[in-house]
């Protein structure tokens, strides 16, 4: 009987691990690649959607997202960040607490975290990161509500860590 229970428990552990396995999708463009969980969705309905330059990937919680702006030219980091902070502060997060950071995934650049209440109601943050080299630039925006689960935050970090420029 003990062997039967042990065999059943082992079989359950092996099969239940597969229930939590997640399929990872890959975006593989000429200038960059990244990986994201299958349950996250690319917003192809956005009228500005461009798979090479402007796209967002939305979490299943319908609140968390990451948006990429990829430029094949060098853009001024300070001007871009200031414009984004101004736009976010006027429309989404009134009077946010703003802190800086310099590292995002594999890249060093300039970043700002805007913390506050979305539309004056839900606590969360927007993380803006700007990277540039001699040939290209990138702005990334992460939107995360404080109610986001640990799984969503872990999945977001995996997207960030997977992003790689090719050239």
Whole-number pLDDT of residue 21: 54
The CA distances from residue 36 to 16, 20, 111, 161, in Å, are 22, 16, 22, 10
**Average pLDDT over the chain, rounded to an integer:** 88
For the chain, domains (ranges, CATH) are 23-165 (3.40.1000.10)
Average pLDDT estimate for 20-34: 88
DSSP one-letter string for the chain: -HHHHHHHHHHHHHHHHHHH---EEEEE-SSEEEEEETTSEE-TTSTT-BTTTEEEEE-TTSS-EEEEEEESS---HHHHHHHHHHHHHHHTBSS-EEEEEEEETTEEEEEEEEEEEETTTEEEEEEEEEEE-SS-EEEEEEEEETT--HHHHHHHHHHHHH-EE--
pLDDT value at 11 more than 80: no
pLDDT, tens only, 84-133? 999 999 989 989 999 999 999 999 999 999 999 999 899 999 999 999 99
- Cα–Cα dist 129/103, whole Å: 8
Among 16-20, 47-51, 127-131, the least confident range: 16-20
């Amino acid at each position: 009987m003990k062997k039967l229970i042990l065999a059943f428990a082992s079989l359950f552990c092996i099969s239940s691990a597969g229930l939590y396995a997640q399929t990872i999708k890959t975006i593989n463009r000429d200038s960059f690649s990244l990986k994201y969980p299958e349950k996250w969705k690319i917003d192809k309905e956005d009228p500005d959607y461009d798979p090479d330059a402007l796209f967002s990937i939305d979490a299943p919680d319908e609140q968390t997202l990451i948006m990429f702006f990829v430029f094949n030219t060098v853009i001024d980091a300070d001007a871009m960040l200031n414009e984004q902070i101004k736009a976010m502060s006027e429309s989404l997060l009134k009077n946010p607490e703003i802190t800086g950071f310099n590292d995002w995934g594999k890249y060093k650049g300039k970043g700002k975290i805007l913390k506050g209440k979305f539309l004056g109601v839900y606590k969360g943050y927007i993380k803006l990161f700007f990277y540039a080299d001699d040939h290209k630039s990138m702005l990334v925006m992460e939107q995360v509500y404080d109610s986001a689960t640990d799984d969503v935050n872990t999945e977001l970090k995996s997207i960030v860590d997977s992003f790689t420029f090719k050239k």
